[in-house]
Structures are given as structure tokens and as C-alpha cells.
Amino acid sequence: MNAMKNCSLILLITYLFFLSSCECDGRILLPDLTADIEAAGVLRLNQPFQVKVHVINEKEDSRCDNDVHQPVTAESLTAVAITYRPAGTAEWAPYEFGTTAGRTQRLLLDTPPPADCPGDEHESVVSAAITLYDAGEYRFEVTADYGNDVEERDESNNAFQKTLN
């Protein structure tokens, strides 16, 4: 029983030491851009429809009052690519879709910095008209900060996929 009290006392002293040694020295918190996509309206073949791309800065939680969230101050590119799977098949393949500028396999959208508003997340929304030509399933792949122009806390979570048919 005495050994258990000594162990508990040592743990308590260690915990109190770490609490007293923590300083709020004002960290610079980097942005973290992620993406989402939604179809605005009904997806119909051979007719343009709007896709809305959301680029979100998921802010890191502050531990101290003097932590500073580094804002995203520059535009970046957001990429939209589509893969296609015809009905009854298992294979996905890159798809050439229509835009106002012609056909492409990857659409690059100029994306303004996410608005710096109060709250945990900041968001930019860009949209584009896209035309699909073939019946089947479509996987929309969106990548925020496609050219890695924004220094981020986590560069590995910029891509998002959504399947529509």
C-alpha cells in the first residue's frame, strides 16, 4: 500500500511540474485546406450543370490566447477531375468532360483565399459549369491547393472524392 501511495505522489508531482512548465509562447498555427464538392441541380447528360467546390481552412485549435492563425493570403488552384465507370463495368477511367472553354480531363479553378471570418473554419466557394456525355457513374475528384502554393499544417488531406450517377 505504501508503494502505491509513493507512486501516486510521484505521478502527481510530475503532473504539477509539467503544468507549471507549460508556457503560452504564441505559436503560429498554419492553415489546413480541404475540399468538398456538390452538384447544384440535377445531373443530366449533354446539358451543363453547376458544380460548387468548397475549399475549407480547418483551423487548428488554439491552446493559448496569443496563438496566431496564419491566414491564407494568396489565391491557389483547385483541381476538378472526373473518372467514369460505364454501367455494368468495374473499371474506372479518366473522363473528358465539357466546360465553357471546351473538353478537358482536369479543370483548374482560381480559388480566392478562404474568407477570414470568426469561427473554426473558413471557406471559399467556386463553381463551374460541367457537361457529361455518357451514362454511368462519375467520381468527382477535387484537390484544394493543387499547386501546393499554400504552406499548410497537413499537405496530405487536400483531396476529396464523391461519386454521382
Higher pLDDT, 17 or 84: 84
Higher pLDDT, 26 or 109: 109
What is the per-residue pLDDT for 79?
93
pLDDT in tens, 60-92: 877 788 888 888 888 899 999 999 999 889 999
For residue 29, give the 3-state DSSP assignment: strand
Q: Give the residues across from 84 on adjacent strands.
A: 93, 138
State yes or no: pLDDT of 137 exceeds 60.
yes
What is the per-residue pLDDT for 13?
52
List domains and CATH numbers for the chain: 2-164 (2.60.40.10)
Q: How far apart are CA 60 and CA 58, in angstroms?
A: 7
What is the per-residue pLDDT for 119?
53
Cα 110 → chain centroid: 15
For residue 73, give the 3-state DSSP assignment: coil
